[in-house]
Amino acid sequence: MWRSSTGRSPTSPATYPSESLRIDRVAHQASLTPNGFRRMRSLAHPALVAVALSGIVSSMWSSTAAAQANPIDIGVIKDSDRSVVQKLLYSKEGRVELGGHLGWMPFDTFTTTPIVALTGGYHFNEEWGAEVVFDYGFALENHSYRLLTSEAYGISPDAYGHILGVGAHALWSPIYAKFSWRGKKVIHHDVYALGGFASALEQALMPDAATAFSPGMSIGVGMRFYLNQDSTLRVQFKDDLLVQNRVKTEDSQSQFLKQNVAVTVGYTRLLKGK
């Protein structure tokens, strides 16, 4: 029969002086009985779990303490450091824009004038560009003119209608935005202002058909709706402030102030840029 290191039988009672002797006893029993390893595992498992948990908690506490002791300074973030639109979906920079437009001059005292216009411009960047415009008008008598020239009044006002216009403008586009149409389609657009030189050739409605040359300046606003990467729909409101020079009245008064206000809608193409 097997005996322990103390000379006692495994079945006889014994008192061990230390915990290590108790573990030795269990280890010896494990070599004799099938359930020995289960007993060893039941003794070791709680101790190992306790040691592992203690190590994890200690590591987390050390990392937190180190982070609090050594904070990372990222500086001060200013509003100027952040951009609302990081990258525009539709870009104009470095591109030529050519367009055709239909419009109307509805606010003249004695005429109403449909117009057609051609534009050509270049965009230096997303905000600034330059453009030239050529337009042709079809001046028609409005209701006020027909009323004054009727038999009831018999008055023939010396009215002039728009024939040709030439202008050169600077374009400033400070706003780029998008909106949702009925929750189904997102439409991108920009808003621009224009200003520059304007000139017009006008003709009298009276039988003499006298002409007048009118230089001046243009101001206006518009919106550009992007149909795709290469085409847009433009809506524009422009006011030409002109000094009209009439040859036939130069003996009395040759210069008159005049406004040609035009509302136009056009289609433009953006040619490939850099």
Element at 228 (helix H, strand E)? strand 211-228
100 near 267, Cβ under 8 Å? yes
Q: What average pLDDT score do residues 96-121 get?
A: 96
242 near 105, Cβ under 8 Å? no
Q: Which of 26-40, 83-97, 147-161, 168-182 has the lowest mean pLDDT?
A: 26-40
Q: Which of 73-82, 169-178, 237-246, 257-266 has the lowest mean pLDDT?
A: 73-82
As a whole number of angstroms, the distance between CA 180 and CA 178 comes to: 7
pLDDT mean across residues, the chain? 81
State what percent of residues in the chain have pLDDT above 90.
52
Q: What average pLDDT score do residues 205-213 get?
A: 90
**Segments of the chain assigned to CATH 2.40.160.20:** 96-270
The residue ranking higher by pLDDT, 33 or 79, is: 79
268 near 121, Cβ under 8 Å? no
CATH assignment of 96-270, among 1.10.287.110, 2.30.40.10, 2.40.160.20, 3.40.50.2300 = 2.40.160.20
- Indicate the pTM of the whole model: 0.67
126 near 92, Cβ under 8 Å? yes
Q: What is the pLDDT confidence band of residue 42, given thresholds at 50, 70 and 90?
A: low
